[in-house]
Structure 1
Amino acid sequence: MPKQALDLRQAHRLLSPGPVTLLTSQYRGQPNVMTVAWAAPVSLDPSLIGVAIHPGRLTHEFVAKSEQFVLNVPHLEIITATHRCGILSGRDGDKFATAGLTMELATEVDPPLIAECVAHIECGVVERVRLGDHDFFVGQPLAISADDQAFDGFWKTDDEVGHILHHLGADRYAALAKSYRVKGEQG
């Protein structure tokens, strides 16, 4: 299969689509939300999740100062709200209200959960590393929850509630809509 050389700055696009998340943060009682595509598991034992945030973002300031964040997993029904949280700044107003998202109390951290999302990972920051033009915050999950109509240990892709979003770049998204099992293999 012939391949074409690409601009090196497109490497991250080859690793997409990863699940897009809505990262909530809070500092001094002020909540904020930002769309994040650059989040990934980095360890199983202990469970650690990493997220890359540009230092110019209000979310960066809030996560750095509070050392807490929540990764909320949106689904197809809130694609417009999800995108809106990535193109607006919390410095310019209440993104929750603008996007039509509902805040709920988290169980272990101060930043809110987003009621319309199908899963939540509440994290405490354990490390921060400067990598190029972003900081990589490593969070340890303190509580996780998911809608059982969307997730039962695996995403239920046959049900629309389980159609989680993946960011392809700019204003392009995909939804996880079908899963496959390899026959005769377990892992």
Structure 2
Amino acid sequence: MAKTKFKGSVILNPVPVVLITTKNKEGKTNVFTVAWAGTINTKPPMLSISVRPERLSYEYIKETMEFVVNMPSANLTKKVDYCGVRSGKKEDKIKEMNFSLTDSDNVSVPYINECPVNIECKVHSIIPLGTHDLILADVIGSYVDESLIDEKGKIHLEQADLITYCHGEYFKMPQDAIGKFGYSVAKNTVKASTPKKKASFKKETTTKKTDFNKKEYAKKSKTPSKAKNFKKKK
């Protein structure tokens, strides 16, 4: 396979694109777009985002040491892009984009209700790197639309119509799996190598969020060791 050589450049793509909500000590809330985000630890649960220090939300994060990661669906792509190119120093992007906010349970920062998944974060540490600072955060809690959770308690993020960012463009996350963890070494290699298409499902509730509690979810799951954090909000 012929290759073209490039000088040092981070071309790791695609990556998830998320909306980050922040709040300063005066109570002002802002939202901005981040494409450099990732999972970094399981126990304790942690994630990271990379942010330019000149961003307004960077100031807000340093003030309160809290933020919320909101995972948008494809129907919000234009708003996601807008929140990435416009500055909160000049306008109220939350108002302009007509986002509705809901108070979080564990942090002072609200989450965007229109996003199907929201993750509460408390800053663990900030590492200056150059153009960006790497913000490491503990995941305190999360919320998922009930429409994405089946009768067995399994989360179907593939049904959330999430978007990714790839070299300057936005793409939908596909719904059909091409494999699953461990299928390459499964005993029945014929069946394991051809994963079946996941059946879609619908629920009457499409906007209500479910809060996660690991112990309660483990009781309902057939595989408690892999359970995520579920608890319905009252």
Amino acid at match of 1:5: K
Shift of 1:180: 2.3
- Report the identity percentage: 26
Letter aligned with residue 17 of structure 2: V
Cα separation, partners in 2 of 1:129 and 1:149, compared to 1, 3 Å: same
CA distance in 1 between partners of 2:8 and 2:118 (Å): 33
For residue 97 of structure 1, report the CA deviation from its aligned partner: 1.4
TM-score when normalising by structure 1: 0.88
Equivalent position SS for 1:91 = coil
How far 1:32 moved relative to its partner?
0.4
Listed as ranges, the matches of 1:31-180 within 5 Å are 31-150=29-148, 155-157=156-158, 159=159, 162-170=160-168, 172-178=169-175, 179-180=177-178
Cα distance 1:165–1:136, how it changes in 2: closer, same or farther (>3 A)? same
Higher-RCO chain (CA-CA 8 Å, sequence separation at least 6):
1
Q: CA deviation at 1:153?
A: 5.0
- Compared with structure 1, are the counterparts of its residues 146 and 185 closer, same or farther at alpha carbon in structure 2 (3 Å cutoff)? farther
Residue by residue, what CA displacement relative to the aligned partner does 1:120-157 show, whole Å, maximum 9, x if unpaired? 11011111111122111111011111123336655442
* Residue identity in the other structure for 1:72: N
User: What root-mean-square deviation, in Å, do the aligned CA atoms of Structure 1 and Structure 2 show?
Assistant: 1.9
Unaligned runs of 5+ in 2: 187-225, 227-234
Cα separation, partners in 2 of 1:62 and 1:156, compared to 1, 3 Å: closer
Instruction: Pick the structure with more strand per residue.
Output: 1
Change in 2 beyond 3 A, CA 1:59/1:153: farther
**Unaligned 5+ residue runs, structure 1?**
none
TM-score by structure 2 length? 0.71
